[in-house]
Amino acid sequence: MRVSMYYNNRDVRLEEQPKPKIEAGELLVKIEASGVCGSDVMEWYRVKRAPIVLGHEIAGDIVEVGKGVEKYKVGDRVFVSHHVPCNTCKYCLNGHHSTCDTLRKTNFIPGGFAEFVRIPRINVDRGVFVLPHEMTYDDGVFIEPLACVVRGFRLSRFEPGKTVLVLGSGIAGLLNIKLAKALGAGRIIATDISDYRLGAANMFGADAVINATEDVPTKVREVNNGKPADLVIVSTGATQAMTQAFKCVDRGGTILMFAPPMPGVEIPVPFSELWKDEVTITTTYAGSPRDITDAIELLRSKRVEINDMITHRFPLEEAGQGFEMVAQAGESIKVIIEPQK
């Protein structure tokens, strides 16, 4: 079968691999659509494992069913979670499924930028979700990234009516904007250094947009009746955005660190100010089965619409163009690879 092999952001090659063979309890899924995630082009994170077949935002069809699998059948249209938790460790039992050791070790094989993937028994047990008939493969691609956003809102204790500031309007930031709108945010403000992305943020639900090179804390107050934001979501690894967040959050508010900085980067924290203003700083990583279920319903019901976010599609042999496009953060939003084209 054909795969797109990642060596670095500028070197993604079409290569041949044997079609995976499944064992008892496993599934073989033919990939119809696989999204390029912002994390796929975090070169400092990915290149140390190269060469590797990436791709974890997948949707496709079950084409083979291993002995003993009864919940699924050939022809089922599915989304498959690449990371799955054990559901029994102290982290899972306390609701921190995405910190589970099992979750961080599991994956499907070889990766979503391939014609077929083998789904191991543990993923079959707790990571396969049949797509409702109302949902397309494109919807399926968005389940994993939206689940990550759903988890962030849940951990930040979001409530309708709150003012939400999204720092960074890449695909993750734009999904945060869409979910904030769907969940009833009182006001949504977005920043970015790209006019293209600011236009997208405005189109997808932001009430005000600010160029990140401006005096963001002052501008936030200008467009928010003199007040900072209740929830500040940092959806970029830029250190400038992280330091801006401390100056943009209201008393009693929350800063959600959605995106990570590069390893070794240290951010000075004005702790005394945050302490006296009772500001909460929280982080979020990945999505749990609960978040995936919520994301599926948001997409099925069209409370979160994603068709207007897809800007580019590439076959496997042109996946490198998709990677470069996402890495350059230019005029693209969601790039989807279609292995069967």
In a domain, 56, yes or no: yes
Does one domain contain both 56 and 139?
yes
Does one domain contain both 193 and 269?
yes
In a domain, 206, yes or no: yes
Domain count, the chain: 2
Does one domain contain both 135 and 29?
yes
Does one domain contain both 92 and 119?
yes
Does one domain contain both 164 and 279?
yes
In a domain, 152, yes or no: no
Does one domain contain both 165 and 201?
yes
Q: Which of 253, 283, 313 is the last residue of a domain?
A: 283
Distance CA 275, CA 81 (A): 38
Q: How many residues are recorded in the chain?
A: 341
pLDDT at residue 262 in the model: 87
In a domain, 230, yes or no: yes
Does one domain contain both 72 and 164?
no
Instruction: Residue 66: give its domain's CATH number.
Output: 3.90.180.10
Does one domain contain both 161 and 227?
yes
Distance CA 156, CA 168 (A): 18
The domain containing residue 164 runs over which residues? 157-283
In a domain, 218, yes or no: yes
Helices within the chain (DSSP H only): 43-46, 90-93, 101-105, 121-126, 137-141, 143-155, 171-182, 195-203, 216-223, 239-248, 271-276, 289-300, 319-328
In a domain, 151, yes or no: no
In a domain, 262, yes or no: yes
In a domain, 224, yes or no: yes
Instruction: Residue 197: give its domain's CATH number.
Output: 3.40.50.720
pLDDT at residue 44 in the model: 87
Q: Which of 239, 263, 283 is the last residue of a domain?
A: 283
Does one domain contain both 109 and 192?
no
Distance CA 256, CA 236 (A): 11
pLDDT at residue 116 in the model: 98
Does one domain contain both 61 and 96?
yes
Q: Which of 249, 265, 283 is the last residue of a domain?
A: 283
pLDDT at residue 293 in the model: 98
Tens digit of pLDDT at every position of the chain (341 positions): 999 999 999 999 999 999 999 999 999 999 999 999 999 999 988 998 999 999 999 999 999 999 999 999 999 999 999 999 999 999 999 999 999 999 999 999 999 999 999 999 999 999 999 999 999 999 999 999 999 999 999 999 999 999 999 999 999 999 999 999 999 999 999 999 999 999 999 999 999 999 999 999 999 999 999 999 999 999 999 999 999 999 999 999 999 999 998 889 999 999 999 999 999 999 999 999 999 999 999 999 999 999 999 999 999 999 999 999 999 988 999 999 999 99
Give the pTM: 0.96
Does one domain contain both 12 and 54?
yes
Q: What is the separation of C-alpha 192 from the centre of its chain, rounded to a whole number of angstroms? A: 18
Does one domain contain both 250 and 190?
yes
pLDDT at residue 272 in the model: 95
